[in-house]
Structure 1
Amino acid sequence: PKSSPNYFTNSDIVHYGLITVIHTFGRDLKWNPHIHALVSLGGFTKNFTFKKLDYFHVPSIAEQ
């Protein structure tokens, strides 16, 4: 739970929001698997304060 001291580790900077959806077809209803992703430009620090970010490193998100 968020109240646990182990919820955030010392190496965590910000916990951001990420929603992904897997689509298996395109507009023409043919097989076209692809992923949509919504990423928040901000997140919560280990002190539960919201930190607004103006930029995020796309390759680090893609690896996850």
Structure 2
Amino acid sequence: KPQEFTEVERWADNHLQAAGNLYRLFDSNTKAMLVEFEAESLADAKVKAGLFLRDSAKGDAA
């Protein structure tokens, strides 16, 4: 599982846009914004984006 989370974080890193402390995660296929949140740093933003994506994946599987 930790390896999977690292893959999610890597994906998130390529799909994040930052404006100050505000980060937006975009779907590269649809260009739609998936989520917007504040984070202290890019590392923090990657973790938050990873958690969002992991939780979203759980929701889809249920």
Same fold, judged at TM 0.5 (above): no
Greater fraction strand: 1
Larger Rg over CA atoms: 1
Structure (1/2) with the larger helix percentage: 2
